[in-house]
Each structure stands twice: as structure tokens, then as C-alpha cells.
């Protein structure tokens, strides 16, 4: 009887966590869309000029930093982002390893920028340029870029971000401007004496895209299923990757 009760609790716990996560992500995405927030903006429309574009670029990059950092610090978001870090090689193709499950994550809303008068179309343009910039930094061919690295993200700095070395874990989350990492304590330069080891701390060892995309979700839900309290179940979802109740 006790075993059956534990089985029921395990199944219902997983179902509740999964359904709650999808519902929360859907509601959050709808409520914080740039279009909805622009209609409720608290500042005047900034238009389509150079000033508005610059504000959109800097604003998007700031929000990107925090979302990217959260992807490394919250297991549910890491389960989405892990796809991008799963490669044990580092080249331009690594930039194309992108998750398909962004819709089931709860992120800092880019719609905040629209509350400040930045048009949704400008946010979309800023996002596109941010992605284009990040493509070229996924390479081992280019070394350091000198003093520009005090301000800009670079191949060297982003190699660190993809490292599984303990020294390099969860560093350099910037999109374009490395100043966010310097300001918020996540900056780390590449050390020639410690070559970057690419991939995960525990690699997946498969090229099956479904296995790669679902590995961390399956592991997370298995931990939820084995938990005996709701505090622990939620902890396995929202705490950092690798968290255990004793941690």
C-alpha cells in the first residue's frame, strides 16, 4: 500500500510540475509580449530613429545577459539551454545548436523595453543583430582582440563561456557587451595555461538530436519523481543544476 502511494505521488508530482511549468510559461509569454507592453507604455514612443535603435540594442543586450545567466543558474532553464553547450567541439556550427523549447521557459521579458517606449519592431531588429554578432565569436581561429575586450564580447571570452573547466563554469554570459559580466561579477579571461575543455561536466555522448534536446528535462523530471516533498520537487526545478536537498 505504501509503495502504491509513493508511486501515485511520484506520477502526480511529475504531472503537476510539468503542467504547471507549461501553464506558467504560456501565461507569462502572453502577458509580457512587447506588443501588449507597448500598448501600456509609460514613456513616449521613441520612434524608429538612431537613438531608439541604440536604446533597443543596449536594452536587449542587458536583458539578454540576465536571461542567459538565469539559464545557467536555474535548472529548468538550463534544461532548455544545455543543447547549446552539448558540443565537445567549438566552431561556427556550435552557434547553430539552438534549443527548440524556449517557449516553455519563464524569462526576464523583453517587453519591458516596450514599456519604456521602444517599439516591438525595434526590439526584433536588436535581437537579430545580437544573434548575428554572436555567430562569429564561436571560433577557435581568432585569438584575443586587444583593448576592445574591455567592452565587447569576443571569441576568446566566449570560449571561456563554453568551457567545462571548474574555473570557467558560468562565466561570460554577455551577448555583445562584456561590460555586464564585468559589472556583475561573472567575467573571466581565457588563460593560455588552462586550455578550455568544451562540452558539459557530464557529456551526453550521442548525436541523436532528440536525446540531446530532452536529456536534462528527463533527468530533472526523474529527480522530481523521486522527491518526497513539494519543497524538494520545486527545488529540483528552480534551483541551480546539480542541486540536491543536502546542498
- pLDDT of 216 above 60: yes
pLDDT at 10: 63
Instruction: Output the CA angle 124-175-57, nearest 5 degrees.
Output: 40
pLDDT by residue (tens digit) across 97-152?
A: 988 777 677 788 989 999 999 999 999 999 999 999 999 999 999 999 999 999 99
| Inside any domain, residue 70 | yes
Q: 234: domain range? A: 2-238
| Inside any domain, residue 178 | yes
HSE at residue 26, side-chain half, CA atoms within 13 A, is: 6
| Inside any domain, residue 246 | no
| Inside any domain, residue 152 | yes
Cell numbers for 138: 564561436
| Inside any domain, residue 92 | yes
- pLDDT of 1 above 70: no
pLDDT band at 83 (very low <50, low <70, confident <90, very high): very high
Distance, in Å, from the CA atom of 61 to the CA atom of 52, rounded to the nearest integer, reads: 14
pLDDT at 77: 95
Mean pLDDT is lowest, of 45-49, 95-99, 197-201, for 95-99
* Percent with pLDDT over 90 in the chain: 77
pLDDT by residue (tens digit) across 173-197?
A: 999 999 999 999 999 999 999 999 9
Domain total in the chain: 1
pLDDT at 231: 93
Distance, in Å, from the CA atom of 20 to the CA atom of 14, rounded to the nearest integer, reads: 10
| Inside any domain, residue 247 | no
* pTM of the entire predicted model: 0.92
Cβ atoms within 10 A of the Cβ of 20, count? 12
- In whole numbers, what is the pLDDT of the chain averaged over residues? 92
Amino acid at each position: 500500500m505504501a509503495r502504491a502511494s509513493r508511486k501515485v505521488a511520484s506520477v502526480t508530482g511529475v504531472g503537476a510540475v510539468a503542467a504547471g511549468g507549461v501553464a506558467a510559461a504560456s501565461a507569462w509569454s502572453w502577458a509580457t509580449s512587447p506588443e501588449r507592453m507597448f500598448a501600456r507604455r509609460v514613456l513616449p514612443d521613441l520612434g524608429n530613429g538612431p537613438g531608439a535603435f541604440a536604446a533597443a540594442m543596449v536594452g536587449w543586450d542587458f536583458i539578454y545577459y540576465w536571461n542567459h545567466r538565469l539559464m545557467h543558474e536555474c535548472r529548468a532553464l538550463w534544461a532548455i539551454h544545455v543543447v547549446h553547450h552539448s558540443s565537445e567541439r567549438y566552431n561556427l556550427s556550435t552557434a547553430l545548436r539552438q534549443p527548440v523549447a524556449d517557449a516553455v521557459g519563464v524569462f526576464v521579458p523583453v517587453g519591458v523595453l516596450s514599456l519604456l517606449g521602444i517599439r516591438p519592431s525595434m526590439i526584433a531588429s536588436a535581437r537579430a543583430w545580437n544573434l548575428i554578432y554572436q555567430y562569429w565569436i564561436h571560433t577557435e581561429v581568432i585569438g584575443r582582440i586587444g583593448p576592445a575586450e574591455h567592452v565587447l564580447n569576443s571569441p576568446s571570452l566566449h570560449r571561456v563561456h563554453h568551457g567545462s573547466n571548474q574555473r570557467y563554469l558560468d562565466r561570460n554570459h554577455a551577448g555583445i557587451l562584456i561590460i555586464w559580466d564585468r559589472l556583475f561579477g561573472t567575467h573571466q579571461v581565457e588563460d593560455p595555461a588552462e586550455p578550455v575543455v568544451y562540452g558539459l561536466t557530464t557529456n551526453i555522448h550521442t548525436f541523436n538530436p532528440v536525446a540531446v534536446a530532452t536529456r536534462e528535462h528527463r533527468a530533472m523530471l526523474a529527480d522530481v519523481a523521486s522527491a518526497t516533498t513539494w519543497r524538494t520537487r520545486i527545488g529540483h526545478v528552480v534551483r541551480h543544476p546539480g542541486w540536491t536537498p543536502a546542498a
